[in-house]
Amino acid sequence: MEIQSVGIKEFRANLHKYTKQTSEPIAVTSHGVPIGYYIPTQPTPQKQDLLVLQQAVQKITQLLQTQGISEEELFADFQSVRKHTP
């Protein structure tokens, strides 16, 4: 799959077109050199996406309960790791 390349001026001038009418990633370029990528997402979660997220929440809740870890402890650990990660 080849990623479509668009100049930054073209991308900016037609932002609505690129953000609403495409489902493929776009390489945004300046003078032919990629400076970033636009990766579209689904505008609204699909029913299947919500179901998968709900199942993930149930699994995480079960794991926390099994290990005897509270949500507060998990969050504190996450914050600690985040502070020490560059």
Give yes or no: residues 32 and 52 share one domain: no
Sign (positive or negative) of CA dihedral 70, 74, 79, 83: positive
User: Two tokens at 65?
Assistant: 């309960």
Give yes or no: residues 54 and 26 share one domain: no
Task: Kindly report the pTM of this predicted structure.
Answer: 0.47
Per-residue pLDDT of 41-85, as tens digits, reads 766 667 888 888 899 999 888 888 998 988 888 888 888 888 887
Q: Per the structure, how many domains does the chain have?
A: 2
Q: Which domain does 72 fall in, by range?
A: 47-83
Instruction: Write the secondary structure of the chain as one string of H (helix), E (strand) and C (coil).
Output: CCCEEEEHHHHHHCHHHHHHCCCCCEEEEECCEEEEEECCCCCCCCHHHHHHHHHHHHHHHHHHHHHCCCHHHHHHHHHHHHHCCC
